[in-house]
Each structure stands twice: as structure tokens, then as C-alpha cells.
A and B are shown apart, each in its own frame.
Chain A
Amino acid sequence: MKYVDEFRDKDIAKKLAAEIAAEADPRRQYNLMEFCGGHTHAIFRYGVQDLMPENVHFVHGPGCPVCVLPIPRIDNAIELAEQGAIVCTYGDMMRVPASKKNSLIKAKAAGSDIRMVYSTQDALRIARENPEREVVFFAIGFETTTPPTAVSLKVAAAEKLKNFSVFCNHVLTPAAIQHILQSPEVRELGQVHIDGFYGPSHVSSIIGSAPYDYFADEFQKPVVIAGFEPLDVMQSTLMLIRQINAGDFRVENQYTRVVTPEGNEKAQNLVSEVFELRRAFEWRGLGEVPYSALKIKEAFADYDAERRFTLTESTGKDVKGCECPAILRGVKKPTDCKLFGTVCTPDNPQGSCMVSSEGSCAAYWSYGRFRLDIAKEKPLEAAQ
């Protein structure tokens, strides 16, 4: 596959690993946070961690939109379906636990009309085919997934589709990064050390590299926008190590084949035409984050499910013992959670980080690497 295979080349990976090992200063620790779940998975799937020297640590961030969506919003989506609407959503959402051990897939099994769609175009088609039914698109995702929702709202308005609306849960990356850097765990308690950031690949293809300049300056941390293939992650690691060694804190762009400083302006314009900032939005793990999400503008109010329907304020909470919130902040690792690999597995997920293909727990579990961690930490037990 062009633009994929050549960025997974084993021989170049070995050479990059050798260069990283040569340049990483053994007297330092390098704590590098990958914001995106896509990077977390590249690291685990391709064994990038195993190619790193012992003092290079990956800290997993909250960049998994399914994982950070708080339970009350999922409860609301189920409520919409129970009120008789056809609720359309991306496959990632279907198995995420809601409150009272419910989920969209369980609600579907119980008779609600919940449909998995690949694209907002499919949701529009369902609305056209069912003019007598309300069709709600349960929209989630970061800046990558927001422009397609903006297109669907524009199309619905142009076609005057009276039965289509969007339950908007789109969130913003820069606000979340800023929140993590300002959190007490990072600033005061020293529980989370972050020496540099991998900037998101596809979020940045939309917003560009310029929005990260502020973090690099304000928090004096280097940011390297990295592609999602293993060689991209490794080259970006080398770029971060070089900056850290030199005491630099600049925004660098490794993923130049897609990301430009200004980003995709056509998509940005569409988003700003349709959406505006919410004053605050609750994130699982991070709590209320100011100006971190989008809502639908007044001009498109007819297509806003939150205005069109009355939704109950749910107080649903995470399963007891689930460490997803701390894992999303980088404070804990999946293997620190008592539920991990015992009651919580991808077949029977208790928390969102185990459900999503981008969640840290799913990454640890799916590629079996947690077994190596356990073997390292408890050598005797592992030997028995």
C-alpha cells in the first residue's frame, strides 16, 4: 500500500532505533506523551517500545474520543433512541459502557433503533429514506471527525431535511493538551513527567501545526507532529530527543506529507460556519475543560438534537475500580488497574479505554505486551 508500506520498513526501523540509542543520553529520562490513541496503537502494534532504550518512556494521553466521552452523554444517546429516534453513530461507540451496565449495542438488542454508520453520508441517507422518523447522528471525535459532521449539517440545511439532527460531542485537542499541562499532577505533584509531545497526525492535517506554537512557548516543551506509521513515530522520537538534549522547545513537523502550518482551510471554514465553542465540556478523566468542545451554531439550531429534544441530566458514573480517568491523564498505566485483564477485557469491557481500538487498555491487552511488563516487574512469579 503506497504511503503505508514504506513507512513500516523493518531495516530502516532498526537503523532509527540505533540512532535513537546513540543519541539518548543515559543520564536523562525521556518522558514523551503521545496525545493520540493512533500513536499508542502504532507503538504497541509494531513493538516500537521494544526498540527504545530503557530511558525513553511513552506516556499515553487522552486522545481517544470514545474514551473521553463521559457516561452521561452516552446515556443521553440511548435516551434519544428510547424516545423513538433512529440513532446513528460510528462503530467505536457501540460497546462503550453507559450507566447501569447498558451500552448502545445492548440498547439495540433490547429493541432500540441504533445503527452503526461508516460516514455522515450514511446517516443522511437513512434520514432521507425514513422521512417519518427522527434520525439523530451521535457525533463524536476530534478535529479530524468534525468537518464531516459540518458537511452533514450543511447538506441537511440545503436539502431541508426536517427529520435529521446531530447530537454534537466534538472536542478539541489543543484545549485538552493545555489542560493536561496545567493539571496539578504535572505542575505541582510531579506524578506525571512530560518532557515532550507527539502532536496528532490527522487532527493536525486539519488544524495545521501553528496551534501548537503556544504550548511549546508557554510550557517550554517540544512538540513534534508525527505520522501514525511506526517509522513516523520513531523518527519523531529522534526529533524530540534531539530537541530535549539541546534544551529546545519548538514545534517541528515530521508528518510533512500531509500537515502544513496552516492546515486545511476549507475544512476549517466549514467547521467555523456550523460550530462554535462551548464554554466548558466534561471529559472523562479530565473533568470540566473550558472551551474544549463545540456546539451547533444558532443558524443550524433546527438540526441540533440538544435543542430539538428534551434530555435528562444523567449522573451516570464509571464502574467502581475502573482506572480509565487516571489512565487518560497519564497518571496510571493500564496494568495498574485491578480490573485490567481480570474482569475487564475487550470481550467484556468495563471501561472505555478497553473498548475503543484506540484506548490504552485495548492497546496493552491486544498486543500482549502487558505480559512482558508483568514478567519484568515480577520475575519470580513469572518464572513459576
Chain B
Amino acid sequence: MCLALPAKIVELTDGDNAIASLEGVTKEISLALVAGADVGDFVLVHVGYALNTISPEEAEKTLKLMAEMDAHLGNKTEAAV
């Protein structure tokens, strides 16, 4: 029920709506719940509404943190050897 998919806004349409694309599958969604979402932004789509915009910077940081953990783990393994 709370599941939502990240889709890219490809076109703004009438009445606070937009066309969102998910791997080429497009659907008209409502932007009534988000402030300032624009073409090119990724939004979380849930029951036909964009719930929030996804921050590319924060996604990058999270992935980087996981990668750094990898480096940390690598060091630890070396230390153990």
C-alpha cells in the first residue's frame, strides 16, 4: 500500500498534472502534493500522485557511504591478514 516508484517527469500538463516516465512507460500523475517539481526531476509516484521529489545529491551520498564502508572493510581484512 505504501509502495511508490521513482519516475521522471517528462512533461507538465494541465491542472497541476504531469507525464511521468518509468523506464519508458508513461503515465499522467498529479503534482498536487509536491511543491516546485519540474521536468527532469525524479519523483516518488504513489497511487497516481507524486509524493516527493528525490534528491540526486542525497542518493549519491548514500551510495558513497556504502562504497566507503567497502573501503573500510577492505582495510579491516588487510589488517587481519
Contacts and interface: CB of A to CB of B under 8 A. Distances in A.
Contacts of A356: 1
Nearest to A1: B23
B4 A202 contact: yes
A12 B66 contact: yes
A350 interface: no
Interface residues on A, range: 35 or more
B58 to A, nearest CB: 4
Contact of A1 (B2, B6, B58): B6
Interface centre among A2, A4, A145 (most CB of B within 10 A): A2
A357 B1 CA distance: 8
Given A1-B23, A3-B54, A140 B1 contact: yes
A258 B44 contact: yes
B44 A15 contact: no
Contact of A38 (B2, B6, B69, B72): B2
Contact of B48 (A36, A148, A238): A148
Contact of A90 (B5, B47, B62, B70): B47
Interface centre among B2, B33, B48 (most CB of A within 10 A): B2
A237 interface: no
Nearest to B52: A205
A12 B68 CA distance: 11
A118 interface: yes
Interface centre among B30, B56, B66 (most CB of A within 10 A): B66
Interface stretch (A72-80, A106-114, A177-185, A262-270): A262-270
Given A38-B2, A65-B1, A356-B1, A1 B66 contact: no
B58 A257 contact: yes
B38 to A, nearest CB: 15
Interface centre among A1, A22, A205 (most CB of B within 10 A): A205
The 6 closest A-B pairs by CB, nearest first: A119-B48, A257-B59, A3-B6, A257-B58, A256-B58, A144-B2
Interface of A: 1-4, 6-7, 12, 15-16, 18-19, 22, 36-38, 63-66, 90, 92, 118-122, 140-142, 144-145, 147-148, 151, 200-203, 205-206, 228, 231-232, 235, 238, 254, 256-258, 264-267, 270, 356, 358
10 contacts: A1-B23, A12-B66, A15-B69, A19-B72, A122-B48, A144-B4, A147-B49, A151-B30, A202-B4, A258-B55
